[in-house]
């Protein structure tokens, strides 16, 4: 049979099989479906075969062949939580933080998320898209082939719609698959400083309907930053219930700084994911473990803030939960564009093995954005989003850090000339 592309002779081919059509949960996390001397073939942008080189070659002839001897072949990374569309930077805040100021102190002085909101409000759609495009280019070069992206630096109906326009411009022009999430409940903007409930009214009554009526709207998820200095549990419930009633999937930023009960709410409302989870109480970890809600850990964020506490991955796995990884790429806490750096952090700070971290960064993170049947695995039928890593084995993933092990990115069957 004829294929478009065949990658063969990989030292290790990681198929990353889904378990029962879903993520790899609890102690079953880390099943790579490893094939030594493996090959993968694709046609029309999809995987058509993955297995031992001799078997795949016997069945498939391809127009283009790539030799992956001595290297690892795995699914493209799915970065399940990013704020990659923004304008400007907050390098000044980084310098203040290394000199001892906290994230919350900087926010109380008018910096933090509002500093990026001001820059984003002042930027044209073109500038917003262009600044973000260079970040997406680097993400792709570092192996991310699917990237979730949140609004939340507009915080007015007009500017949230402008962010939507920038996301749409990138979605149609950039090879990375973007999954847009509506996050107007990211911060209470200055103009509602003494009336946070008034801002929640605006989000629920004006922004949500406006954003969903936009002809370019492709939002699948609504997210809320439920934490001290952001939104209360009651405000979070109000936004998420309204979004659910409009047919959106739900996500939550919970327990990054203080536990407010966001995980229990996410489970109750059937959210697709609960993200951060640095200080989640044990009883809520139990609830999470028994639910379909995917736990998304973002170790670049505590690292970026030089905090000591990280998501308790083993407690989540002990409870039977589905664990995923993402960068949280944002200008405040974690300007990180590299999933392999996140994997290196997760191995050290959350004690994941490289195999567990790889599954958390592919199949399980695909499940966290509702794409677990389309990306994150090299099983036949999945999108042909494939990486060739210049590493002799998966154990080198995370072991080596600070560089880029990605030698070749394939997106929907096409070889990408990655530009850094
Ligand atoms: O995930 N937690 C909310 N949002 C980001 C920070 C965004 C910012 O500081 O601009 C986070 O850490
Ligand atoms: Fe975030």
pLDDT digits (tens, 9 = 90+) for 238-284: 999 999 999 999 999 999 999 999 999 999 999 999 999 999 999 99
Going from N- to C-terminal start, the domains of the chain cover 2-75+377-417, 78-367
**Per-residue pLDDT, 420:** 52
Q: Three-state DSSP class for 73?
A: strand
Helix (H) or strand (E) holding 369: none
For the Cβ of 223 lying below 6 angstroms from any atom of ligand 1, the answer is: no
The greatest distance separating any two alpha carbons of the chain, rounded to the nearest whole angstrom, comes to 69
Residue identifier of the C-alpha nearest atom 8 of ligand 1: 332
Q: Three-state DSSP class for 15?
A: coil
For the Cβ of 225 lying below 6 angstroms from any atom of ligand 1, the answer is: yes
pTM given for the model: 0.98
Domain 2-75+377-417, architecture per CATH:
Roll (2.30)
CA torsion sign for 314, 318, 319, 321 is positive
**Burial group, residue 315, by CB count within 10 angstroms (0-12, 13-18, 19+):** middle
Mean pLDDT of 229-233: 96
pLDDT tens digit sequence for 307-342: 999 999 999 999 999 999 999 999 999 999 999 999
CA torsion sign for 178, 367, 290, 220 is positive
Q: How far apart are CA 22 and CA 3, in angstroms?
A: 27
Q: Does residue 217 have a pLDDT over 90? A: no
- 384 CA → ligand 2 middle, Å: 28
Q: How far apart are CA 172 and CA 140, in angstroms?
A: 15
Pocket test for ligand 1, best of 186, 274, 325 (most atoms within 8 A of CB): 186
- Asked whether the beta carbons of 380 and 351 are under 8 A apart, the reply is no
Ligand nearest to the CA of 186: 1
Compare 194 and 388 and report the one with higher pLDDT. 388
For the Cβ of 111 lying below 6 angstroms from any atom of ligand 1, the answer is: no
Q: Which residue has the tokens 């939960």?
A: 321
Contacts by 16-19, CB closer than 8 A, 24 or more apart: 16/74, 16/75, 16/358, 16/359, 16/362, 16/363, 16/376, 16/377, 16/378, 17/363, 17/377, 17/379, 18/363, 18/372, 18/373, 18/377, 18/379
CA nearest neighbour of 135 among 89, 104, 192, 193: 89
- 86 CA → ligand 1 middle, Å: 12
Compare 417 and 255 and report the one with higher pLDDT. 255
- 256 CA → ligand 1 middle, Å: 9
Mean pLDDT of 100-105: 94
For the Cβ of 82 lying below 6 angstroms from any atom of ligand 1, the answer is: no
pLDDT tens digit sequence for 393-410: 999 999 999 999 999 999
Ligand nearest to the CA of 90: 1
Out of 3.20.20.140, 3.30.300.30, 3.30.470.20, 3.40.47.10, select the CATH number for domain 78-367: 3.20.20.140
**Per-residue pLDDT, 417:** 80
- Asked whether the beta carbons of 330 and 256 are under 8 A apart, the reply is no
């Amino acid at each position: 049979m004829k294929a478009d592309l065949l990658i063969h002779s990989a030292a290790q081919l990681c198929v990353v099989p889904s378990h029962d059509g879903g993520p790899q949960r609890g102690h079953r996390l880390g099943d790579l479906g490893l094939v030594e001397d493996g090959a993968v073939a694709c046609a029309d942008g999809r995987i058509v075969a993955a297995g031992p080189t001799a078997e795949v070659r016997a069945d498939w002839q391809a127009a283009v062949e790539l030799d992956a001897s001595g290297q690892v072949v795995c699914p493209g990374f799915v970065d399940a939580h990013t704020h990659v569309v923004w304008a400007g930077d907050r390098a000044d805040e980084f310098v203040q933080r290394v000199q001892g100021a906290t994230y919350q102190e900087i926010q109380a002085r008018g910096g933090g998320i509002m500093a990026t909101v001001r820059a984003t409000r002042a930027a044209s759609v073109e500038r917003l898209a262009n600044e973000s495009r260079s970040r997406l280019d680097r993400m792709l070069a570092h192996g991310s082939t699917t990237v979730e992206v949140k609004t939340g630096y507009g915080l007015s109906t007009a500017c949230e719609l402008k962010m939507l326009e920038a996301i749409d411009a990138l979605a149609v022009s950039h090879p990375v698959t973007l999954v847009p999430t509506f996050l107007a409940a990211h911060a209470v903007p200055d103009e509602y400083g003494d009336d946070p409930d008034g801002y929640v009214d605006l989000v629920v009554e004006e922004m949500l309907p406006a954003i969903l009526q936009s002809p370019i709207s492709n939002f699948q998820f609504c997210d809320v930053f439920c934490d001290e200095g952001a939104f209360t549990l009651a405000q979070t419930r109000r936004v998420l219930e309204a979004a659910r009633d409009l047919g959106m999937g739900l996500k939550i930023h919970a327990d990054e700084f203080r536990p407010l009960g966001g995980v229990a709410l996410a489970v109750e409302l059937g959210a697709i994911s609960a993200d951060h989870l640095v200080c989640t109480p044990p009883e809520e970890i139990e609830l999470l473990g028994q639910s379909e809600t995917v736990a998304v850990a973002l170790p670049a964020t505590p690292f970026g803030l030089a905090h000591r506490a990280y998501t308790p991955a083993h407690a989540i796995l002990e409870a039977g939960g589905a664990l995923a990884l993402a960068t949280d790429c944002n200008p405040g806490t974690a300007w990180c564009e590299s999933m392999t750096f996140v994997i290196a952090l997760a191995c050290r700070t959350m004690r994941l093995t490289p195999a567990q971290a790889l599954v958390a960064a592919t199949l399980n993170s695909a499940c966290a954005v509702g794409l677990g049947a389309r990306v994150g695995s090299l099983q036949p039928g999945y999108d042909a989003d494939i990486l060739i890593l210049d590493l002799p084995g998966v154990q080198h993933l995370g072991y080596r850090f600070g560089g880029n092990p990605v030698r070749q990115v394939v997106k929907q069957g096409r070889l990408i000339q990655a530009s850094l």
